[in-house]
């Protein structure tokens, strides 16, 4: 798979392979000849576990975007990489068309098409927490800490939805084994024909009686501070008399917020009734994968601190390899989350109706089959609930695009990848049910599929990963 590099002189390099040297010599794949700031073996670009990273070799620390200088960085499309504090710099996987060269002797590659948009790769901004105290009364340090913590913790849901997306990095998942894929039966899949993507529009609020069953079963998962501020984390849907199903990412956020937002509840967008959450259950494999990811992240951060100290080149190389290995383990653990991203909420009040689950004997969803994603989505940056204009329920029709198994387990757990006809960019659908034509739940929405780093991949096809509903039956006996 090719990657593209934009150099300061306007050249766009197309590179095929998994590792490229950056240096001052003309023989380097990414060359800065005659630039005294660049050393012969200055740095290396390499692909690891489906993601790209840059490592300093003979050169000094490297700066990527606004991150502090370091000897190693993970890269996402559009990153500006500065090889030293004084330059030079280049753009990794540029998201804009190539610039004309500054010299007639330096001609751009003619057949290098611009990469696709990467809107989904942007990490969500923290929610704006509105201070309810009078403006003349400054917040106490403890209050400011609580506000900061809830902003960061709330964003954790979207981070998980984006795969925790390689901790907001844009990357393609590592080669997926046993992938079942067939063309989706519509004009959008014909070569050269863009799919009819529309912008998702909120469904007008309906009365409880007029709303369809799929919407009457939906709720928003909320947390509330003692001061009264309420924050929305995602969608849950009734599956029993007092049980709702949602994503494990949402329950993880609930647990993280317990000390600063102790009230956890669900609210129906159609009846406006609330129920208190009295118990939560998460798939044990999700907890295990999340724990492994945290351990690997801690190890990588500790090794990076060691790497910042001046060490012999051999020791630097050994530490770098250990960091890469830890990052690979973290990446693979985060990928496993989407196969088990399901949880149960027990509430203290009866629910009006429940959605039916697809029978376990119905087998794997077939690629191309029609589905509907039903949820109560909201913009990822809008965590604060507006009591005068709560998020309305929405339906987004689509198709099953493909089914993916866990690496090395062709007969085991799988996730369902769906392609919606509406543009869901920038929206939080976490926990929403994916329904088959009979109105039965076949999967639980987990995240937008990470964008493909291949600039030649179709930019117009957006898809979403969902956890197979049979994972629910593995830890919640009432649904077996």
| Mean pLDDT of successive 10-residue stretches along the chain, which has 480 residues | 86 90 91 91 84 83 87 86 91 68 37 31 30 31 38 41 33 34 34 41 49 88 90 96 97 91 94 95 96 91 79 82 88 92 97 93 89 94 84 95 84 91 90 96 93 52 88 93
> Which of residues 304, 337, 370 is at a domain's end?
337
The CATH number of the domain holding residue 86 is: 2.60.200.20
Do 237 and 356 lie in one domain? The reply is yes
Say which residues have a Cβ less than 8 Å from residue 376's Cβ, sequence separation at least 6: 218, 219, 220, 235, 269, 391, 392, 393, 394, 432
pLDDT of 313: 78
> Which of residues 296, 311, 337 is at a domain's end?
337
Specify the DSSP class assigned to residue 120.
Answer: G
Distance separating alpha carbons of residues 380 and 33, to the nearest angstrom: 44
Omega before residue 88 within 30° of 0, cis: yes
Distance separating alpha carbons of residues 309 and 164, to the nearest angstrom: 29
Distance separating alpha carbons of residues 231 and 156, to the nearest angstrom: 13
Do 277 and 314 lie in one domain? The reply is no
pLDDT of 58: 81
Q: What are the structure tokens assigned to 226, written together? A: 């003692």
Is residue 203 in a domain? yes
pLDDT of 369: 95
Q: What are the structure tokens assigned to 287, written together? A: 């907890």
Strands 30-31 and 370-375: unpaired
Say how many CA atoms lie within 13 Å of 336 toward its Cβ: 21
> Which of residues 314, 337, 360 is at a domain's end?
337
Q: What are the structure tokens assigned to 348, written together? A: 């203290």
Contact yes or no for 53/72 (Cβ under 8 A)? yes
H helix intervals, 265-362 = 284-308, 313-337
Q: Three-state DSSP class for 473?
A: helix
Nearest to 265 by CA among 286, 244, 284, 291: 244
pLDDT of 224: 93
Contact yes or no for 147/129 (Cβ under 8 A)? yes
Q: Which residues of 281-301 are buried (b: 16+ CB within 10 A; e: fewer)?
A: bbbebbeebbebbeebbebbe
Is residue 136 in a domain? no
Is residue 141 in a domain? no
Which value, in Å, is the radius of gyration of the alpha carbons in the chain? 24
Tell me the sheet residues that pair with 80: 91
Do 261 and 404 lie in one domain? The reply is yes
Q: Three-state DSSP class for 213?
A: helix
Distance separating alpha carbons of residues 174 and 161, to the nearest angstrom: 17
Do 181 and 64 lie in one domain? The reply is no
Do 212 and 353 lie in one domain? The reply is yes
Is residue 198 in a domain? yes
Strands 422-423 and 198-199: parallel
Tell me the sheet residues that pair with 56: 43
Distance separating alpha carbons of residues 380 and 368, to the nearest angstrom: 29
| 286-312 pLDDT, tens digit each | 999 999 999 998 998 888 888 777 678
Do 414 and 331 lie in one domain? The reply is no
Say which residues have a Cβ less than 8 Å from residue 430's Cβ, sequence separation at least 6: 157, 158, 160, 161, 233, 234, 235, 246, 247, 249, 250, 445, 446, 447
Do 229 and 294 lie in one domain? The reply is no
The CATH number of the domain holding residue 368 is: 2.40.10.120
> Domain range for residue 290?
284-337
Do 332 and 398 lie in one domain? The reply is no
Element (H, E) at 373: strand 370-375
Name the residue with tokens 């690979």: 328
Element (H, E) at 255: helix 248-256
Name the residue with tokens 């009979």: 438
Start-to-end Cα distance in the chain: 43
Name the residue with tokens 């769906």: 418
CB neighbours (10 Å) of residue 258? Answer: 13
Distance separating alpha carbons of residues 355 and 337, to the nearest angstrom: 24
Distance separating alpha carbons of residues 267 and 208, to the nearest angstrom: 13
CB neighbours (10 Å) of residue 8? Answer: 14
Tell me the sheet residues that pair with 237: 218, 245
Do 307 and 268 lie in one domain? The reply is no
Do 226 and 317 lie in one domain? The reply is no
Is residue 125 in a domain? no
Q: What are the structure tokens assigned to 352, written together? A: 């009006």
Is residue 10 in a domain? yes
Q: What are the structure tokens assigned to 429, written together? A: 């659908």
Do 361 and 473 lie in one domain? The reply is yes
Is residue 116 in a domain? no
Do 188 and 66 lie in one domain? The reply is no
Q: What are the structure tokens assigned to 463, written together? A: 């898809």
Is residue 106 in a domain? no
- Looking at the structure of the chain, the number of domains it has is 3
Contact yes or no for 424/377 (Cβ under 8 A)? yes
pLDDT of 166: 33
């Amino acid at each position: 798979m090719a990657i593209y590099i934009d150099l300061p002189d306007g050249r766009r390099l197309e590179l095929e392979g998994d590792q490229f040297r950056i240096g001052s010599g003309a023989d380097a794949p990414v060359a800065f000849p005659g630039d005294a700031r660049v050393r012969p073996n200055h740095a290396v670009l390499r692909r690891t576990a489906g993601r790209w990273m840059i490592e300093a070799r003979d050169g000094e620390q490297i700066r990527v975007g606004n991150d502090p200088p370091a000897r190693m960085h993970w890269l996402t499309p559009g990153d500006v990489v500065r090889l030293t504090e004084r330059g030079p710099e280049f753009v990794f996987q540029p998201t804009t068309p190539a610039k004309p060269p500054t010299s007639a002797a330096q001609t751009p590659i003619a057949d290098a098409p611009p990469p696709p948009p990467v809107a989904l790769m942007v990490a969500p901004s923290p929610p704006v927490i509105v201070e309810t105290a009078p403006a003349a009364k400054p917040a106490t340090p403890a209050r400011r800490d609580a506000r900061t913590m809830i902003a960061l913790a709330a964003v954790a849901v979207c981070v998980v939805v984006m795969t925790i997306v390689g901790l907001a990095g844009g990357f393609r998942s590592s080669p997926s084994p046993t992938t079942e894929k067939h063309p989706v039966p519509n004009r959008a899949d014909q070569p050269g024909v863009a799919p009819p993507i529309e912008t998702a529009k909120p469904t007008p609020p309906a009365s409880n009686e007029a709303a369809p069953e799929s919407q009457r079963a939906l709720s928003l998962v909320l947390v509330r501070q003692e001061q009264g501020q309420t924050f929305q984390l995602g969608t849950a849907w009734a599956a029993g008399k007092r049980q709702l199903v949602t994503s494990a990412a949402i329950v993880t956020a609930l647990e993280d917020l317990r000390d600063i937002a102790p009230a956890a509840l669900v609210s129906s967008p159609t009846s406006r009734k609330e129920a208190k959450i009295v118990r939560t259950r998460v798939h044990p494999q999700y907890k295990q994968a999340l724990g492994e990811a945290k351990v690997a992240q801690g190890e990588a951060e500790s090794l990076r601190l060691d790497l910042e100290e001046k060490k012999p080149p051999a020791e630097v190389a050994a530490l770098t390899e250990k960091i890469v290995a830890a990052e690979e383990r973290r990446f693979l653990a985060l990928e496993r989350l989407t196969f088990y991203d399901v949880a149960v909420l027990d509430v203290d009040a009866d629910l009006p109706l429940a959605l039916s689950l697809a029978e376990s004997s119905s087998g794997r969803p077939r690629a191309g089959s029609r589905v509907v994603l039903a949820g109560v989505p909201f913009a990822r940056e809008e965590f604060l609930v507006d009591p005068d204009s709560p998020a309305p329920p929405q339906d987004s029709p689509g198709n099953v695009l493909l089914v993916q198994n866990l690496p090395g387990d062709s007969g085991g757990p799988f996730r369902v990848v769906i392609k919606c006809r509406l543009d869901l960019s920038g929206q939080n659908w976490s926990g929403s049910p994916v329904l088959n034509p009979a109105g039965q739940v076949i999967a639980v929405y987990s995240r937008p599929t990470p964008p493909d780093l291949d600039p030649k991949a179709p930019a117009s096809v957006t898809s979403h990963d969902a956890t197979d509903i049979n994972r629910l039956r593995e830890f919640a006996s009432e649904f077996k």
